[in-house]
């Protein structure tokens, strides 16, 4: 059995998800061999919690280790390019979380002004970062994999298999991820996140749609979009608001229409204004079929509780908000969201040096789509990607 040592950079929520998933990988002797954090104490605690042999105090120290073959970057967006390039130059395969690249004011002396930057400049800088990552991996002859879990979610994988058998082309796609909003202050500032709901949430259906149309040989040619802060109103206060407010300089709602080379359309929507738990849905319409993919919620298990104390502090699902009444407790969220299968696929790709479905090229295309959407939202026009790329 092939042995693969993984180096994990980061110790936050996403890193914990990855640790659970890598621990369940099969067919390859894959294990997290070292974890890195800028806070050495955090690294040591994380290593002890997840039975990881080595804890190091910097990403560079991890990249320099000869006993690491795959690096998984669970770090803030502004670190994606420098860390990915450093890791590839050290000869490591790289997994980079979503979004692969983002505009966070990296070309400005004062990054707090990032949200005021011209959207075309945002596109150029973010896409340049993504291309640099792809090119660095190619030059080092290592894999760059894009951490888009939707591509590996069981209902979407099954739908893709059915579509491959169907003679009818995929005509329309509608996908969304929505919940009641992030409470992290970093998600509310452009200089930290690189955008709002369209980037954080809408990038998931965008990635899935691009992957599905890639299967048919079609490419994205143009984007139309709108964004908004739906809670920027004077009639909202603590008495009538349960969703997150105070969104700083990013949007909490975004919708992009994707125009493909074969005439198909995709509508991707991200929102921080939806109560009742996380909704992650993708609807596919072909000329001879109709498929509905439910990542969350799904009704493999339904529960009813008359009182909030019935199930104690049991986890129901992300952003559920409570356990009373009818609910849909997710039996295995890592599995149903696609994270488990994604980690399995990335390990297999690294062990066999094969291409993963969600690769750096897909991450680059998602970056192009999202920032073209921001240009469209700012200008009120359909944005052709070839025109953007030609202008540099």
First to last CA, the chain: 46
Who's near 262: CB < 8 A, 6+ residues apart? 169, 213, 216, 217, 218
> Could you tell me which of 359, 368, 335, 247 has the C-alpha nearest to residue 20?
335
Mode of pairing for the β-strands spanning 265-271 and 303-305:
unpaired
For 175, phi then psi, to 5°, come to -140, 150
Closest CA to 52 of 39, 41, 43: 43
Reference 60, options 42, 78, 34, 41; nearest CA is 34
Question: For residue 147, which of 349, 388, 3 has the smallest C-alpha distance?
Answer: 349
Strand bridging mode 220-228 / 383-384: antiparallel
Q: What token pair was written down for 109?
A: 């002396």
In whole angstroms, give the CA distance from residue 257 to residue 73. Answer: 30
Tally of helices (H runs) and strands (E runs) in the chain: 13, 15
| 212-245 confidence digits (pLDDT tens) | 999 999 999 999 999 999 999 989 998 999 999 9
| Residue range 82-121, pLDDT digits in tens | 999 999 999 999 999 999 999 999 999 999 999 999 999 9
Helix (H, G, I), strand (E, B) or coil at 284: strand
Predicted pLDDT at 315 = 86
pLDDT in tens, 301-356: 999 998 989 899 888 888 888 888 888 888 999 999 999 999 999 999 999 978 89
In this prediction, residues 267-277 reach a mean pLDDT of 96
C-alpha separations of 343 from 4, 8, 15, 158, 352 in Å: 12, 12, 12, 18, 14
All structural domains of the chain, each given as residue ranges with its CATH number in brackets, are 3-148 (3.40.50.720), 150-340+377-383 (3.30.360.10)
Residue 56: band (very low, low, confident or very high) from pLDDT cuts 50, 70, 90: very high
Alpha-carbon distance values, 221 to 183, 205, 206, 368, 382 (Å):
35, 17, 13, 10, 10
What the block records as the tokens of 97 is 């979380």
> CA 98 from chain center: how many Å?
3
The pLDDT value given to residue 355: 87
Q: If you average pLDDT over every residue of the chain, what do you get?
A: 95
| Confidence (pLDDT) at 392 | 60
DSSP code at position 201: T
CA 376 to CA 388: how far, in whole Å?
A: 12
Question: Taking the CA atoms of the chain, what radius of gyration do you get in angstroms?
Answer: 21
DSSP 190-221: HHHHSSSHHHHTTHHHHHHHHHHHHHTT--EE
1, pLDDT greater than 70 = no
3-state secondary structure at position 246: coil
Bridging pattern class, strands 303-305 and 93-97: unpaired
The answer, yes or no, to whether the previous bond of 174 is cis (omega within 30 of 0) is no
pLDDT at residue 335, as a whole number:
95
Half-sphere exposure of 82 (CA within 13 A, CB side): 8
User: Higher pLDDT residue, 262 or 353?
Assistant: 262
The model scores a pTM over 0.75: yes
Residue 32 and residue 8 in contact, taking contact as beta carbons nearer than 8 Å: yes
Dihedral, 320, 324, 328, 329 alpha carbons, nearest 10: 80
In terms of Cβ atoms closer than 10 Å to its own Cβ (0-12, 13-18, 19+), residue 301 is: exposed
The beta-strand segments (E) located in the chain are: 3-9, 29-36, 54-56, 70-73, 93-97, 144-147, 170-178, 220-228, 253-260, 265-271, 279-286, 290-296, 303-305, 325-327, 383-384
């Amino acid at each position: 059995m092939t042995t693969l040592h993984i180096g994990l950079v980061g110790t936050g929520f996403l890193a914990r998800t990855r640790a659970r998933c890598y621990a369940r990988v099969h067919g390859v002797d894959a294990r997290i061999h070292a974890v890195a954090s800028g806070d050495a104490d955090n690294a040591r605690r994380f290593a002890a919690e997840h039975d990881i042999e080595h804890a190091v105090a910097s990403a560079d120290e991890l990249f320099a280790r000869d006993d690491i073959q795959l690096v998984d970057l669970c770090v803030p967006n502004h670190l994606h390019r420098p860390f990915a390039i450093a890791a590839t130059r050290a000869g490591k395969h790289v997994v980079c979380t979503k979004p692969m690249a983002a505009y966070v004011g990296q070309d400005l002396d004062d990054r707090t002004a990032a949200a005021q930057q011209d959207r075309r400049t945002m596109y150029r800088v973010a896409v340049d970062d993504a291309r640099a990552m792809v090119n660095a991996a190619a030059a080092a002859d290592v894999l760059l994999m894009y951490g888009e879990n939707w591509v590996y979610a069981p209902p979407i994988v099954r739908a893709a298999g059915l579509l491959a058998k169907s003679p009818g082309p995929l005509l329309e796609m509608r996908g969304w991820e929505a919940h009641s909003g992030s409470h992290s202050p970093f998600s509310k500032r452009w200089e930290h996140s690189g955008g709002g709901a369209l980037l954080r949430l809408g990038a998931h259906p965008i990635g899935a749609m691009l992957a599905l149309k890639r299967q048919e040989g079609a490419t994205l040619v143009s984007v139309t979009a709108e964004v908004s802060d739906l809670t920027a109103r004077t009639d909202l206060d603590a008495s009538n608001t349960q969703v997150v407010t105070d969104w700083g300089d990013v949007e909490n709602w975004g919708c992009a229409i994707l125009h493909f080379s074969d005439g198909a359309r995709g509508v991707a929507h991200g929102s921080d204004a939806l109560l009742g738990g996380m909704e992650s849905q993708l609807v596919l319409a072909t000329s001879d079929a109709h498929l509905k993919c439910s990542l969350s919620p799904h009704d493999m298990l339904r529960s009813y509780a008359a009182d909030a104390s019935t199930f104690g502090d049991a986890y129901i699902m992300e952003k559920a908000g409570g356990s009373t009444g009818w609910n849909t407790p997710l039996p295995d969220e890592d599995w149903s969201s696609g994270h488990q299968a994604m980690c399995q696929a990335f390990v297999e790709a690294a062990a066999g040096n094969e291409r993963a479905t969600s690769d750096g090229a897909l991450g680059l295309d998602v970056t192009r789509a999202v920032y073209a959407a921001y240009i469209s939202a700012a200008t009120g026009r359909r944005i052709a990607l070839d025109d953007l790329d030609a202008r540099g």
